[in-house]
Structure 1
């Protein structure tokens, strides 16, 4: 998908250009950054002042040529913060409603969607009897059964509490990695969601794209820390599950060495995605001894970015991965840190929460 937008209203101007390939492209930004405006323009619900939208070789919007394909002909599925299920229909009937909008001759197997989202036990139930997470799964299934060529998800988990969010995230991971091969635009202001789900990350700030690229690259960029928030910044790396110990800790292999972490629910031999928070990473010039922290990795200082306050973001080369550490200016001076310095990154096993481990 190729998108270019320029639109002004109420003193706000959106001016951006992006592409979205396979997998999940996440739009992240604080409230008012322009995320929902982008989604509305892509869906056809907003006619921008200037814009171009192309997907699979077809032009759906081109203001210069007067092209504006209406929403119902764009073949986009949509899932919003509110599930918007029909209260007078049960789950099966809500799902069947989605099939009405599938193009003739194009069909998404109903049984596959039901199995993918674990909806079999819910088919005869009314929406009023469902939890928030269950409602969102039904809404997602209805959207998939319309056989969309792209899925638009606008803050789909924002109304859910932590437990319900953790309930639905694995289903979204299965959708990302499953056989449907859908292109998904995912809007959120929750960093934990995008680090679990996204392949590509687009950071919006005041109507403009501050940076975009593969999730791992953007999350490991010290320049992105102010946009993500200093308490939310952290690297995303992949690991292989090696073993599970009887004491609840699991051993994982990353490119820089071995890690010990709790709460890993993946099978031995599988690969998982870890989010390691910058504020949880300590740096040492010598390998520490006598610490309770189990994870110590040899790393090389790649860059040091100083903010406006006392904090400094340090990018660390850890094997083929990049970690981030957030320390103070004083610590940089005391440790004599500089680009190319060989140090050790240290963090406790319990700092990587189970919800920060994705499939």
Structure 2
């Protein structure tokens, strides 16, 4: 478990952050300048907070009150940056082995386990110059893991990759989050990556923690739209593959006792799939529509309405235990009489539903 409570000033910028992160992926999300990279640097020991405490399990990395400030090499924290930073004159194998040597610790993940986890067996004899961007980042992650860290931080590792390379590496990052057995801080300003990889979410805004907690709970807070951005506001739904509609290249997903139809997903029946639905893509009706092109019509109940000062209002809907967010005009909310407790139907176009990571 990582415990962070820090107060740090750099010039005119101030960072005040307090949160906890357990095993698996915790996303640090925020707009440019929110303080994400500064937070990573403070945890890694690259910059010193003015005050606070950072602990990793029972080891204290920094405690201003007790004069503790472990040097970088003793923190057992590995960082993967936007660029892979591999040694160009060394093969992939030797880059990986350097990670083991640099960590100077026995135990941890074995070489073969890390290579298998990241799918880089065929790359071992190549030099970095012969790797794609996604391949190079996988090697950089492998090198970090072989150093035997107790915490892995990834600072926007996909930001320099194009869509194809991002799609290539995301499945490996999913496995890493599930199988690494250590806390992972995944820093990003791309919400689709966050939803694909993380179970916990910390939102930074102007150097402050605006929200922290389970991913679904944080994203369903309709008071955070101004921070996450109007274009990012939406919901996360946990579904399960119920079957395929092969004639139309669609996949049936169970959402409690209801179903969603989405563009085909290559997944086995019973596999759990996390979906992202933008608030702008959810319409609301008081009665179940007929003769409609929209494939997904879900029975729901209004739980909360947040009226903005402009044209928009956000409506939070309950679909069983899950929550779905809709953004409507304030005029629509008024004319439909949308208030907490009102039964409605949520309408979502199949082509608007996306899997985390930008996949449909």
TM-score (norm 2): 0.96
Work out whether residues 105 and 148 of structure 2, in 8 Å CA contact, stay in contact via their aligned partners in 1.
no
Matches within 5 A, 1:156-171: 156-171=157-172
Task: State the distance in 2 between where 1:356 and 1:223 align.
Answer: 24
Task: State the distance in 2 between where 1:99 and 1:288 align.
Answer: 61
Of stretches 340-349 and 256-265 in structure 1, the one that deviates more from structure 2 is 256-265
Aligned to 1:334: 335
Task: Tell me the number of residue pairs that the alignment of Structure 1 and Structure 2 aligns.
Answer: 357
Work out whether residues 256 and 318 of structure 1, in 8 Å CA contact, stay in contact via their aligned partners in 2.
no
Matches within 5 A, 1:8-19: 8-19=9-20
Aligned to 2:121: 120
Tell me by how many angstroms 1:104 deviates.
3.5
Task: State the distance in 2 between where 1:171 and 1:16 align.
Answer: 29
Work out whether residues 219 and 235 of structure 2, in 8 Å CA contact, stay in contact via their aligned partners in 1.
yes
Tell me by how many angstroms 1:2 deviates.
0.9
SS at match of 2:186: strand
Task: State the distance in 1 between where 2:89 and 2:79 align.
Answer: 21
Work out whether residues 275 and 355 of structure 2, in 8 Å CA contact, stay in contact via their aligned partners in 1.
no
Aligned to 1:281: 282
Task: State the distance in 1 between where 2:87 and 2:237 align.
Answer: 40
Task: State the distance in 2 between where 1:210 and 1:354 align.
Answer: 25
Tell me by how many angstroms 1:166 deviates.
1.1
Tell me by how many angstroms 1:9 deviates.
1.9
Q: Kindly report structure 1 stretches of 4+ aligned residues shifted beyond 2 Å.
A: 101-105, 353-358
Aligned to 1:227: 227
Work out whether residues 193 and 358 of structure 2, in 8 Å CA contact, stay in contact via their aligned partners in 1.
no
Tell me by how many angstroms 1:105 deviates.
2.9
Q: Deviations over 1:16-35 (max 9, x none)?
A: 21111121111111111111
Task: State the distance in 2 between where 1:205 and 1:127 align.
Answer: 36
SS at match of 2:66: coil
Aligned to 2:35: 34
Aligned to 1:299: 300
Tell me by how many angstroms 1:293 deviates.
0.7
Tell me by how many angstroms 1:256 deviates.
5.0
Q: From the superposition, tell whether residues 356 and 117 of structure 1 become closer, same or farther in structure 2 (CA, over 3 Å).
A: closer
Aligned to 2:191: 191
SS at match of 1:64: helix
Task: State the distance in 2 between where 1:212 and 1:286 align.
Answer: 36
Q: Deviations over 1:276-331 (max 9, x none)?
A: 11110000000011111110101100101122321111110011100000111011
Task: State the distance in 1 between where 2:355 and 2:213 align.
Answer: 26
Q: Deviations over 1:108-147 (max 9, x none)?
A: 1111111111101111111111111111000001001111
Tell me by how many angstroms 1:63 deviates.
1.3
Tell me by how many angstroms 1:269 deviates.
1.4
Gaps of 5+ in 2: none
Q: From the superposition, tell whether residues 356 and 189 of structure 1 become closer, same or farther in structure 2 (CA, over 3 Å).
A: closer
Aligned to 1:218: 218
Aligned to 2:236: 236
Aligned to 2:205: 205
Q: RMSD between aligned alpha carbons?
A: 1.3
Task: State the distance in 2 between where 1:114 and 1:105 align.
Answer: 18
Tell me by how many angstroms 1:49 deviates.
0.8
Task: State the distance in 2 between where 1:93 and 1:222 align.
Answer: 49
Gaps of 5+ in 1: none
SS at match of 2:60: strand
Q: Deviations over 1:83-126 (max 9, x none)?
A: 00000001111111111133433231111111111101111111
SS at match of 1:136: helix
SS at match of 2:154: strand
Matches within 5 A, 1:57-136: 57-136=58-137
2:264 is aligned with 1:258: no
Q: Deviations over 1:252-278 (max 9, x none)?
A: 101251111113111111111111111
Aligned to 1:22: 23
Tell me by how many angstroms 1:154 deviates.
0.5
Tell me by how many angstroms 1:357 deviates.
7.4
TM-score (norm 1): 0.97
